[in-house]
A and B are shown apart, each in its own frame.
Chain A
Amino acid sequence: MSDAHAVVGQHLHKRFLDKESGRTIHALKEINLEIPVGSITAFVGPDGAGKTTLIRMMAGLLRCEEGSLQVLGLDVAQHPQQIQDRISYMPQRFGLYEDLSVQENLDLYADLHGVPAQAREERYRRLMEMTGLARFTERPAGKLSGGMKQKLGLACTLVRSPQLLLLDEPTVGVDPLSRVELWEIVEQLRRDEQLTVIISTAYLDEAERCSRVYVMHEGEILAQGAPDALSAHAQGRCFMAVSHEKEPARALQSRLLDTTDLVVDAVPQGGHVRFILGEPHYRDEPRLQSILGTADIQAMTPRLEDGFMVLMRQRLQHMGHSHEASLAAATRVSASTGELASGTGEHETMIEVRDLVRRFGDFIAVNSTSFAVARGEIFGLLGPNGAGKTTTFRMLCGLLPASSGFLQVAGVNLRTARADARRRIGYVSQKFSLYGNLSVMENLEFFGGAYGLRGKRLRQRIATVLEQFELEGLERTPSGHLPGGFKQRLAMAVGLLHEPDILFLDEPTSGTDPLARREFWRRITALAETGVTIIITTHFLDEAEYCDRIVIQDAGELKALGTPREVWVQAGHRADSFLNMERAFIDIVNQGRQPSAQAASELAGSEVVHA
């Protein structure tokens, strides 16, 4: 047994038979890896990269047919049980027993792992302290908020000290605060108990904290190494454009992103635009100069995300996929629906909310909240798990009546004419809520009909959205068989069929990779340019910078409202300093919680009351 390595894989392959289509899916291709004992290793990559398959194989949950995989010196194919006795594994969807209490869930795992009674007390105390679950021990696990569930899942995984800890996307759907706490737990354990940690994640800032990163794509390892080494792929090509124009940063970002032959990636950051060039010397390209205009250009130290984007773009070009085409199609949105925006006034108020309150029994989920959203704005709702975002969101779409207050959407009072207002809004829910066994076309026809579209008009609209969302050629595919990104596109296509004035998106980017997120946001910004108002919730705080304005809610209260920079100032930072939305978010939530931290954490655990 090699003492230095916790996991050694050689020439691993994994094939699945897809029962529906009868095709074989090559989920892992020729994987070779060596993971040293005591390290934290991250697997990153887009949907379908094979991260979950690989972790499940390490856990002995999937048969290892080709190649060899050794975990803790044991062959997985031969001794899965011995390995399972020694490792802890947190699946993507940790299956808590929802009808058992927090304590009972913990006890079950402690019993199964044979944690002796005397060791338990100390362990529980520590886990409860780290997760903040101490006050909820009697609560059924099903009644915890999403973030709390995830923390309880981690606590159950950590009832004993394993030799190897496997975490499969442990932070999906978890708010930034809980994410920070989760990472603190993992890092503390690694320090105190020298355990080896393997984690898969969609957050590259998380991968950056690891000692080693594997970048995967479609079953293959594209690159591996320390985060710095991977970041170096973008060395000398990262810049920041500090714009002096009044226009939002995302306008410049869109222009850069559309220049696909020169620019690999561009994101709004800190109120400016961070971009990566295909080659360092493109900087002097006149076309780039004209796009950047008067903006100041500063060279930046590359981050892991930059390196990742460079690797992905190289890979896609190599495979003949055209990311360019996707982005081009994304921008076509503005061309095809552009005429819509032209006639309407720029500063028309689309949503007006005054003293909005929603109670569930004694519990106040949303407390006297007021804001207004103008036409064509991208408006972000942010807050920790259980802050009241979902409740606010549902009231705005007319899915949930308000307890009191004034609520006007698209010029229609939601309390008196809900059906009327609904006709003018589109809604894309977090879960895929279309009919999986109907084809793309059938879904579009059905929902078009449901919105009252008929005949020629319906056919025109379907043709338009099919083109906008690049679903041509997939009309006959059952929508349940579409890959993740396409499902979301179809959901958006359906949401926009009846040309709504407002589009509501509930955590559309949860669990999606950076590549898909770029494409998604390019579509959204293009849509907003056509005059569609966008209301969106997200847990990725870097995405807040795509928004014109955001609100931060916590414990049902509106804590901050304004442009990202205004919120940065409200968080107590200098207006001209480099803004960091994650910092701003954590500061604002903590400021609000200090006087009544107890009540706030109570609320954080009771999301289900209004779910």
Chain B
Amino acid sequence: MPETYQDGVAPRNLAAFLRRLYALTRKEVRQLLRDKSNLSIGLLLPVILMLIFGYGLSLDVRNAPIAVVLEDASPTAMDAISGLQLSPYFSPLLMRSMHEAEEKMLTREVDAIVRVPPDFASALNAGQGKLQVIVHGAEASRATIILNYATSALAQQGARLQDRSAGAASDGIGQVQVESRLWFNAANTSTWYLVPGLIVLIMTLTGAFLTALVMAREWERGTFEALFVSPVKPVEILLAKIIPYFVVGIIGLAMCLVTARFLFGVPMEGSLPLLLLSSVLYLFVALGIGLLISSVTRNQFMASQVSLLISLLPVFMLSGFMFDLRNVPVMINVIGHLFPATHFMTLIKTLMLAGNIWPIIILEGSILAGYAVLFIGLARLVTRKRLD
């Protein structure tokens, strides 16, 4: 009768559970340490990515060449464009004719043209000063930035001019009061928002990509078959896979945070414990996804392809890492929000750049927790000690 075999009381079972878990975890750690390629993906790649993104890749506009066509050579006109000359974002080239400027634009020697019309000074006095700004639109986001910068630089100077000119203040005068200011990234350096994004990327890499390989490897090499016919429980197998990669993920996170803070001076507006907590939550989500992919595909090549497609690519494309989700079509926005990475991205950017904004933290945090339970639960469900 089966009852006769129900031996062992709870504490003995717990001891056995811990002993097996320890044995399996030790095995995983040994394999991880001996597999140089996996270890370097887990530990070396984060550093390399940080350095590349931190130093090499930047979305900032600095010293953008622009053509300034002065058709009005009056001191007022010179004054109006002085804002551009002082700006760190532009290096203006003064030109006499529009024709010349257009040629420079076509050959992409300048990114924009600022045209001061011949009657600028008199029109300004009449309260109708107009400047033309033409931006090369091939790179939409760069164009927008240049347009914004140029408008604001010109508007500030224009306002000052108007203040100075006769106080005949009618309604039409000073109509364009562009007062733009950037919040939460006061310096508007892309490093500040790339680095939090990078943390998401790196956590996804160790969580989903590396673990996607480990279960599949055991299926491929046939190591599970013998392992299954032993007192081992599926949950022990899963835990033993999670533990070492969790540690690797945390080390990666720590390295990112240290570089972010001390190398790139990214601020930490919110609380560090909260940031760590949310990272741990996301790490569980990523591990869950990785294990799920691994258990379903049972094949390392497939697993790595699938995890690239559904975890790493969305981090780049759909999480708001590169492209702001508010600027994309609604459908893409909705799809983007299906990926856990998007929620972690919001959370980590909020915590690092804005501060403890509780409504966001609670909302995104609980979404992440939900995903963590879902994916780890599914991974547990599909990990059965069966071959069929």
Q: Is the CB of B19 within 8 A of A99?
A: no
Q: Is the CB of A95 within 8 A of B218?
A: yes
Q: Is the CB of B2 within 8 A of A78?
A: yes
Q: Measured between alpha carbons, how far is A79 from B2 in the docked complex, in Å?
A: 8
Shortest B181–chain A CB gap in Å is: 57
Q: Measured between alpha carbons, how far is A63 from B4 in the docked complex, in Å?
A: 24
Q: Measured between alpha carbons, how far is A108 from B387 in the docked complex, in Å?
A: 22
Shortest A101–chain B CB gap in Å is: 9
Cross-chain contact of A96 among B24, B35, B223 (Cβ < 8 A): B223
Take A74-B2, A84-B385, A97-B31 as given contacts and tell me if A60 and B222 are in contact as well, using a CB distance cutoff of 8 Å: no
Within 8 A of A (CB), among B228-244: 228-233
Q: Is the CB of B221 within 8 A of A112?
A: no
Q: Measured between alpha carbons, how far is A476 from B218 in the docked complex, in Å?
A: 34
Take A80-B385, A112-B231 as given contacts and tell me if A90 and B2 are in contact as well, using a CB distance cutoff of 8 Å: no
Within 8 A of B (CB), among A547-580: none
Q: Is the CB of B228 within 8 A of A62?
A: no
Q: Measured between alpha carbons, how far is A363 from B222 in the docked complex, in Å?
A: 31
Q: Is the CB of A87 within 8 A of B229?
A: yes
Q: Is the CB of B224 within 8 A of A108?
A: no
Shortest B18–chain A CB gap in Å is: 11
In the assembled complex, which residues on chain A have CB atoms less than 8 Å from the CB atom of B31? 97, 99-100
Interface membership of B225, Cβ < 8 A: yes
Q: Measured between alpha carbons, how far is A100 from B27 in the docked complex, in Å?
A: 8
Q: Measured between alpha carbons, how far is A108 from B26 in the docked complex, in Å?
A: 9
Q: Is the CB of A85 within 8 A of B231?
A: yes
Q: Measured between alpha carbons, how far is A95 from B388 in the docked complex, in Å?
A: 18
In the assembled complex, which residues on chain B have CB atoms less than 8 Å from the CB atom of A16? 388
Pair count A-B, CB < 8 A: 105
A 77-89 binary contact with B (CB < 8 Å = 1; else 0): 0111110111111
Interface membership of B22, Cβ < 8 A: yes
Q: Is the CB of B229 within 8 A of A84?
A: yes
Interface membership of A254, Cβ < 8 A: no
Q: Is the CB of A99 within 8 A of B229?
A: no
Interface of A is mostly: mixed
In the assembled complex, which residues on chain A have CB atoms less than 8 Å from the CB atom of B232? 112
Shortest A468–chain B CB gap in Å is: 35
Residue in B closest to A73 when the chains form the complex, CB atoms: B1
In the assembled complex, which residues on chain A have CB atoms less than 8 Å from the CB atom of B4? 1
Take A60-B385, A96-B223, A114-B19 as given contacts and tell me if A109 and B30 are in contact as well, using a CB distance cutoff of 8 Å: no
Q: Is the CB of A89 within 8 A of B229?
A: yes
Interface membership of B5, Cβ < 8 A: yes
Within 8 A of B (CB), among A59-79: 59-63, 73-75, 78-79
In the assembled complex, which residues on chain A have CB atoms less than 8 Å from the CB atom of B226? 89-91, 94-95, 109, 153, 156-157
Q: Is the CB of A113 within 8 A of B222?
A: no
Max chain A CB contacts within 10 Å: which of B5, B24, B229?
B229
Q: Is the CB of B231 within 8 A of A114?
A: yes
Cross-chain contact of A114 among B5, B16, B218, B222 (Cβ < 8 A): B16
In the assembled complex, which residues on chain B have CB atoms less than 8 Å from the CB atom of A80? 385
B 6-38 binary contact with A (CB < 8 Å = 1; else 0): 000000000010011011101100110011000
Take A93-B222, A95-B226 as given contacts and tell me if A111 and B388 are in contact as well, using a CB distance cutoff of 8 Å: no
Interface membership of A30, Cβ < 8 A: no
Q: Is the CB of A82 within 8 A of B223?
A: no
Q: Is the CB of A111 within 8 A of B5?
A: no
Q: Is the CB of B222 within 8 A of A91?
A: yes
Q: Measured between alpha carbons, how far is A85 from B17 in the docked complex, in Å?
A: 13
Cross-chain contact of B227 among A90, A112, A166 (Cβ < 8 A): A112
Take A84-B229, A99-B35, A113-B230 as given contacts and tell me if A108 and B27 are in contact as well, using a CB distance cutoff of 8 Å: yes
Interface of B is mostly: helix
Q: Measured between alpha carbons, how far is A166 from B228 in the docked complex, in Å?
A: 13
Q: Measured between alpha carbons, how far is A75 from B2 in the docked complex, in Å?
A: 8
Q: Measured between alpha carbons, how far is A30 from B224 in the docked complex, in Å?
A: 29
In the assembled complex, which residues on chain B have CB atoms less than 8 Å from the CB atom of A62? 386-388
Cross-chain contact of B24 among A81, A87, A89, A112 (Cβ < 8 A): A112
Q: Is the CB of B233 within 8 A of A81?
A: yes
Cross-chain contact of B221 among A79, A95, A157, A166 (Cβ < 8 A): A95
Q: Is the CB of A95 within 8 A of B228?
A: no
Q: Is the CB of B227 within 8 A of A61?
A: no
Interface membership of A472, Cβ < 8 A: no
Q: Is the CB of A91 within 8 A of B225?
A: yes
Q: Measured between alpha carbons, how far is A97 from B22 in the docked complex, in Å?
A: 17
Q: Is the CB of B19 within 8 A of A111?
A: yes
In the assembled complex, which residues on chain A have CB atoms less than 8 Å from the CB atom of B35? 99
Residue in B closest to A86 when the chains form the complex, CB atoms: B5
Q: Is the CB of B386 within 8 A of A74?
A: no
Interface membership of A348, Cβ < 8 A: no
Q: Is the CB of A107 within 8 A of B385?
A: no
Q: Measured between alpha carbons, how far is A1 from B30 in the docked complex, in Å?
A: 43
Q: Measured between alpha carbons, how far is A78 from B2 in the docked complex, in Å?
A: 9
In the assembled complex, which residues on chain A have CB atoms less than 8 Å from the CB atom of B388? 16, 61-63
Q: Measured between alpha carbons, how far is A118 from B281 in the docked complex, in Å?
A: 42
Interface membership of A104, Cβ < 8 A: yes
Take A96-B223, A97-B31 as given contacts and tell me if A111 and B229 are in contact as well, using a CB distance cutoff of 8 Å: no
In the assembled complex, which residues on chain B have CB atoms less than 8 Å from the CB atom of A95? 218, 221-227
Q: Is the CB of B2 within 8 A of A109?
A: no
Shortest A292–chain B CB gap in Å is: 48
Interface membership of A209, Cβ < 8 A: no
In the assembled complex, which residues on chain B have CB atoms less than 8 Å from the CB atom of A100? 27, 30-31
- Would you give 27 A-B contacts (Cβ < 8 Å), ordered by A? A1-B4, A59-B228, A60-B385, A61-B228, A81-B231, A82-B2, A82-B5, A84-B228, A84-B231, A87-B229, A89-B225, A89-B226, A89-B229, A91-B222, A91-B225, A95-B224, A95-B225, A98-B221, A99-B30, A100-B27, A100-B31, A108-B23, A109-B226, A109-B230, A112-B230, A113-B230, A114-B16
For the A-B complex with A79-B2, A84-B228, A109-B230 known, give 14 more contacts whose Cβ atoms are closer than 8 Å. Answer: A1-B1, A60-B229, A60-B385, A84-B229, A85-B230, A86-B5, A89-B226, A91-B222, A100-B31, A108-B26, A112-B20, A112-B230, A112-B231, A114-B231
Top-5 shortest CB links A-B: A95-B223, A111-B23, A89-B229, A95-B222, A91-B225
